[in-house]
Amino acid sequence: MPGPVQSIERAAAILRVLASGRLGLVEVANSLGLAKATTHGILRTLQGVGFVEQDRATGKYQLGAALLHLGSSYLDANELRSRAINWADSLAARSGEAVHIGRILGTEVLIVHHVFRPDDTLQALEIGALLPAHASALGKVLLAFDAGAAEATLAAPLISFTRRTIVSARAMTRELTQVRERGWASETGEMVVDQASVAAPIRGHGGLVVGAIGVTGPAERIGDDLHGSSRAALVALVRDVARAVSRDLGGSRG
């Protein structure tokens, strides 16, 4: 490999560290084990290109505005998102719940699109946010069809968010097998108490799973504990929409 440009990797690591908030020079340097001067040079360069900004008053560094534009440019170029947007609106309208579209990023789920629940106005926009893969329906779908991501996720301890969160690697492996077999995933109160979600895979060219789409809402309307036709209808709805997106996505070459 004649490539891996060290300084760029370090710059990326610095940006990732800064994503957690405002930090001082030495804090950044220490958390990455870099020399102060080296960190300073990289930070200065990142500042020059607008990826990092410095608070004049405190001297602390934070992410820069140029990243916001790049992030939104990513969304513009993202075919999964552009194809799925219309279907997501339709799913939200028909299910009456909030809709999320996500893809894998490392061992987490990156939300690339979010439709608010139709009746509810005060919600936070979650585009760009990261969800734990093992505690969300979207994440279970994505892990079930991405062996690499699944392995990476199971390599580390699974963080517990509620009493229902699946923390055992064996249980998770079983769960993923089931998801793979039936073609959809669910989660009830595993991330947030009394919140549940259902999701299904979106496939791109050649049947490869490139993302997932799902609905999220109160456990009493979506949860596993709810048996009967309404739950089955919801699952069918989500799966239908996911298949529709897949069809759109597979049809044309990007």
Partner DNA sequence: AACGTGGGACGACATTGTCGAACGTTCTGC
Partner DNA sequence: GCAGAACGTTCGACAATGTCGTCCCACGTT
Q: How far is the CB of 38 from DNA (least distance, A)?
A: 3
What are the structure tokens assigned to 145, written together? 């069809």
Nearer to DNA, 8 or 193 (CB): 8
Based on its alpha-carbon atoms, the radius of gyration of the chain, rounded to whole angstroms, reads: 20
Alpha-carbon distance 237 to 184, whole Å? 11
Residues that bind a second copy (CB under 8 A): 1-5, 7-9, 11-13, 15-16, 18-22, 40-42, 44-46, 48-51, 55, 57-58, 62-75, 77, 103, 105-106, 110, 112, 125, 127-130, 205, 253-254
Q: How far is the CB of 16 from a second copy (least distance, A)?
A: 8
Nearer to a second copy, 4 or 33 (CB): 4
Q: How far is the CB of 62 from DNA (least distance, A)?
A: 11
Contact 246, 202 (CB under 8 A): yes
Q: Decide if residue 43 touches DNA (CB under 7 A).
A: yes
Alpha-carbon distance 231 to 228, whole Å? 6
Report the relative pairing of strands 195-203 and 185-188 from DSSP bridges.
Answer: antiparallel
Q: Decide if residue 24 touches DNA (CB under 7 A).
A: yes
Q: Which residues contact 156 (CB under 8 A, 6 or more apart)?
A: 107
Q: How far is the CB of 101 from a second copy (least distance, A)?
A: 12
Q: Decide if residue 236 touches DNA (CB under 7 A).
A: no
Given 12, 19, 21, 38, the residue binding DNA (CB under 7 A): 38
Given 34, 67, 152, 167, the residue binding DNA (CB under 7 A): 34
> In one letter, which amino acid is 244?
A
| Segment holding 175, helix H or strand E | helix 169-182
Nearer to DNA, 21 or 24 (CB): 24
Ramachandran area for residue 195 (φ above 0: left; ψ -120 to 50: alpha; else beta): beta
Q: Decide if residue 164 touches DNA (CB under 7 A).
A: no
Q: Which residues contact 154 (CB under 8 A, 6 or more apart)?
A: 169, 172, 173
Nearer to a second copy, 111 or 237 (CB): 111
Alpha-carbon distance 58 to 25, whole Å? 11
Q: Which does 34 bind (CB under 5 to 8 A by kind): a second copy, DNA, none?
A: DNA
- Eight-class DSSP state of 158: P
Given 35, 124, 125, 155, the residue binding DNA (CB under 7 A): 35
Positions in the binding site for DNA (CB under 7 A): 1-8, 10, 24-27, 34-38, 40-44, 54, 57, 59-60
